[in-house]
Amino acid sequence: MSSKLVIGISSSALFDLTDSDRVFRESGLKAYSEYQRSNEDTYLAPGVAFPLVQKLLRLNSVLGQKDRVEVILLSRNTADTGLRVFKSIEHHQLPIARAAFTGGAAPYRYMRPFRCQLFLSTNADDVREALANGTAAASILPSPDNFPPSETLHFAFDGDAVLFSDEAERIYQEKGLDAFASSERDAANEPLTGGPFKPFLSELHRLQSELPKEVSPIRTALVTARSAPAHERVIKTLRAWDIRIDESLFLGGMNKAGFLQAYGADVFFDDQADHCESASSVVPAGHVPHGVTNE
C-alpha cells in the first residue's frame, strides 16, 4: 500500500498577501480583519510557492491516484479572515480541502496530526518552530516568476544540516577546511546521521519508486559545497539509507546559482542564508534555519 506525501503551506507562501500584510502592520488586527472581509471576493494573486504547489498537486493525475499527494493550508488567519484565502484557492482551482486557521497561534501543533512531511512559509519563526518539533520546513524567499516549464518536479537539496546532520559542518566551522576534509576521509565508511529533510527525501524516493525511473515525474539533486575527498561519505550514506538521488553536484565551494538554474530546480533547500539569497535570483529557494550556521 502506498503512503501519502503531505505538504503544509502558509497562506502567505501560497498567495501574495503583500497588501493585506501592509494593512496589518500599519493599522493593526481590526483593520486587517475588516480589509480581508471587504475584499472577500477579490481573489488573491499567486504567491512565491504557488507554482510549486500546482506542480505537486498535478502529480496525482500523473500517478493516477486521487490523493497520493496532499497540500494542507496552515494559516495564522481566523476562519473568518481566511475565507478570502479559501475563495482564492477555489478560484485558482487548487484541490486543497483541509486547513487549520489558528487565529494568530503557532501552526506547528497541527503538523503532526496532519502528518505533514514538509512545511513552507514566509514566517521564519513558524519555520523554526516546525523544525524544532521534527518537521522539515523552510522559509520561501521571493524568486523570479519564470519557473521551469518542465512537467517534472525538480527538487534540489544542500547536504550538511539539510539532508544530513550538521556534525561535519560543525568541524568545518570550528576547525577549518583541512580538518573537515581529514575528518570526512577518516569517517568515509560511517554513514552521516539524518538531517531534518531526510524523512521528506525518503518519501520522495518512495513516490519515485512507484513508477519506472525513466518516466518518474520527480527528480532529486544533491547540490553541495563538498568536493573530493569529502564526497565518499555522502555517497556511502545515501547507499546505507537505500535512497536514490538522481543527480549529485560536488561543487567544492563554487556558487550554486548557475548549477541550480541549469538543473531547472523548482525549489532548492539550503541551511545557509547567503546561499539561498544567491540561488533565489534564478530559482525558488527555501532557507532551512537549522544547524550550526544558524545558531
Q: What is the pLDDT of residue 216?
A: 84
Distance between start and end Cα atoms, the chain:
40
Same domain, 13 and 136: yes
Domain closes at, from 140, 175, 196: 140
48 burial level (CB within 10 Å; 0-12, 13-18, 19+): buried
125 and 165 in one domain? no
Give the chain's radius of gyration (CA, Å): 19
Whether residue 180 sits in one domain with residue 56: no
71-85, 183-197, 211-225: the lowest-pLDDT one: 211-225
User: What local confidence, expressed as pLDDT, does residue 2 receive?
Assistant: 53
**Cα distance between residue 43 and residue 35, in whole Å:** 13
Domain that holds residue 242: 153-294
**Same domain for 132 and 102:** yes
Provide φ and ψ at 254, rounded to 5°: -70, 155
87 and 109 part of one domain: yes
- Average pLDDT (264-268) is 95
Known catalytic residue: 158? yes
Same domain, 78 and 207: no
Share of the chain above pLDDT 90, in %: 82
Q: Do 252 and 168 fall into the same domain?
A: yes
Check whether residue 199 and residue 115 sit in a common domain. Answer: no
Examine the domain organization and report whether 85 and 165 are in the same domain. no
> Do 165 and 280 reside in the same domain of the chain?
yes
Catalytic residue among 158, 166, 266, 271: 158
Residue 117 in this model has a pLDDT that exceeds 80: yes
Which of these three, 95, 110, 140, is where a domain ends? Answer: 140
Is the pLDDT confidence value at 208 over 80?
yes
Where among 103, 118, 140 does a domain terminate? 140
Mean model confidence pLDDT for the chain: 93
Least confident of 79-88, 89-98, 168-177, 207-216: 207-216
| Span 65-114, pLDDT tens digits | 888 999 999 999 999 999 999 999 999 999 999 999 999 999 999 999 99
Q: pLDDT digit string (tens) for 132-167?
A: 999 999 999 998 876 656 789 999 999 999 999 999
In a domain, 116, yes or no: yes
**How much is the pLDDT for 147?**
62
User: pTM for the full model?
Assistant: 0.94
Number of structural domains, the chain? 2
Which pLDDT tens digit goes with each residue over 42-68? 999 999 999 999 999 999 988 888 889
Average pLDDT, stretch 22-37?
91
CB 147 within 8 A of CB 284: yes
CA distance 294 to 114: 27
Neighbours of 3 (CB within 10 A): 12
Q: Which amino acid is at 42?
A: T
Query: Could you tell me if residue 253 is inside a domain?
Result: yes
Let me know: does 247 contact 222? Beta carbons within 8 Å.
Answer: yes
Question: Which CATH number goes with the domain that contains 182?
Answer: 3.40.50.1000
Q: Quick check: is 147 in a domain?
A: no
List pLDDT tens digits, range 221-232: 999 999 988 899
In a domain, residue 213? The reply is yes
Say if residue 95 is in the same domain as residue 225.
no
Residue 145 falls within a domain, yes or no? no
pLDDT score at 1:
41
